[in-house]
Amino acid sequence: MKKSLGRKTIIYPHPVLMVGTYDVNGAPNIMVASWGGICCSDPPCVAISVRESRYTYNSILANKAFTVNIPSVSHIKEVDYAGMYSGSELNKFEKTGLTPVKSDLVKAPYVKEFPLTLICKLLKVVEIGAHTQFIGEIMDTIVDEEMIMASGQLDIEQIKPFIYDSSSRSYYAIGEKLMDAYSSL
Amino acid sequence: MKKSLGRKTIIYPHPVLMVGTYDVNGAPNIMVASWGGICCSDPPCVAISVRESRYTYNSILANKAFTVNIPSVSHIKEVDYAGMYSGSELNKFEKTGLTPVKSDLVKAPYVKEFPLTLICKLLKVVEIGAHTQFIGEIMDTIVDEEMIMASGQLDIEQIKPFIYDSSSRSYYAIGEKLMDAYSSL
């Protein structure tokens, strides 16, 4: 039997993305976003949704840039902590011990300790309602060298990303490989 | 050591979303999308990225509606199959044995066998480049009753969603619960 839950924002999975910016004073900040993802192949783009009240909102508009950093399970506590506070209250890089690194390409910091980062230049601002979607053109993708397999593919089992379950408000790991895609004839 | 990979569209995780539409002749169709997700709380919205060449593109524009269906691991082969063919070539509901159910709210079918569906009315069309982003206002969320726990939360361990790894072109399961969110003081 199907049951109607009404107008909810539940989807599986939500990613766990850490958005890096400089604030209007040049201080590095991080924001956790679980509403976002790749949205275009050419130009390569990633979208993230941000409320106007968030500290990151004006930082993105001021610098026309942000980074999207994928954390590993080993930093789950730092991510969770960063998701509980605003950059207006405290310096989340300092509090978590994470290291901001200035990108050479855009005016935004990335998180040194996280295995994968998309370096983005703000391409489009889409007003939807309570959330604004910032679409960033991916200028570069940087990865920890040891996450690259001999095949040239990235090793998800080393990257160890995790997901957010918005219904139970908890984080889950990525499990075992199920099958190759494009193999069902 | 960080290594630059260039302008890639790699993120972890990509969701596996099945988009349901009626084509311009009224035939039900499904498209697999791994670029999409929730993008606004009020109005509640979900975004999916679609190339203009995809069969689903004109179907969404014609009916101003689509559904976003979350498959379980038990239907991974049907999902993979649906991702390999176009609705212009064959009826993917018939070929996969999945059942289209007409929504009462919008002119789009949902997938009966999948545990969770977002019923969407087209709200916004965002031209980015090779991909167009369709932003759908979520008019209802429907779920298999047995996926709802006594707490009222959905049970991710029963829903059994899976993710797509675009670098290795394979599907992965969701693993174990890591921790509650908002618990790192």
CA atoms of A99 and B109, how far apart (whole Å): 47
pTM for the predicted model, two decimal places = 0.97
Mean pLDDT over B1-23 rounds to 98
Pair A165, A12: CB distance under 8 Å: yes
Q: For residue B169, what are the CA distances in angstroms to A127, A155, B34, B151? A: 33, 11, 11, 36
Chain-centroid distance, C-alpha A11 = 16
Q: Which two structure tokens, joined as six digits, stand for A5?
A: 């839950």
B70-105 CB burial, b ≥16 within 10 A, e <16? bbbbebbebbbbbbeeebeeeebbeebebebbebee
Pair A173, A160: CB distance under 8 Å: yes
Total beta-carbon pairs less than 8 A apart between chain A and chain B: 316
For A46-179, where are the alpha helices, taking DSSP H only?
Answer: 55-63, 76-82, 92-96, 156-159
pLDDT for A149-176, tens place per residue?
999 999 999 999 999 999 999 999 999 9
A95-105 CB burial, b ≥16 within 10 A, e <16? ebebebbebee
Cβ distance A167 to B156 less than 8 Å, yes or no, reads yes
Mean pLDDT, each 10-residue run in order, chain A (185 residues): 97 98 97 98 98 98 98 98 94 97 98 98 98 98 97 97 97 98 87
What's the first-to-final CA gap in chain B, in angstroms?
31
Q: For residue A127, what are the CA distances in angstroms to A15, A98, B46? A: 21, 31, 14
Candidates B10, B39, B182; nearest CB to A80: B182
pLDDT of amino acid A185: 67
Which residues does chain A have within 8 Å of residue B49's beta carbon, measured at their own beta carbons?
A: 38-40
Mapping DSSP to helix (H, G, I), strand (E, B) and coil, where does residue A79 land? helix
Interface test with B, best of A30, A114, A183, A184 (most B CBs within 10 A): A184
- B184 — pLDDT class (breaks 50, 70, 90): confident
Whether ipTM tops 0.95, in short, is yes
Q: Does B143 touch chain A (CB under 8 A)?
A: yes
pLDDT of amino acid A184: 83
Q: For residue B113, what are the CA distances in angstroms to A8, A137, B101, B106, B179? A: 20, 37, 10, 19, 30
Mapping DSSP to helix (H, G, I), strand (E, B) and coil, where does residue A58 land? helix
Mean residue pLDDT across chain B: 97
In 3D, which of B34, B32, B128, B35 has the Cα closest to residue B84? B32
In 3D, which of A60, A83, A46 has the Cα closest to residue A166? A83
Q: For residue B158, what are the CA distances in angstroms to A91, A154, B72, B112, B144? A: 39, 29, 8, 16, 10
CA atoms of A92 and A39, how far apart (whole Å): 28
Q: Is the pLDDT of residue B126 over 80?
A: yes
Candidates B83, B126, B181; nearest CB to A169: B181
pLDDT of amino acid B54: 97
Which residues does chain A have within 8 Å of residue B183's beta carbon, measured at their own beta carbons?
A: 80
pLDDT for B69-96, tens place per residue?
999 999 999 999 999 999 999 999 999 9
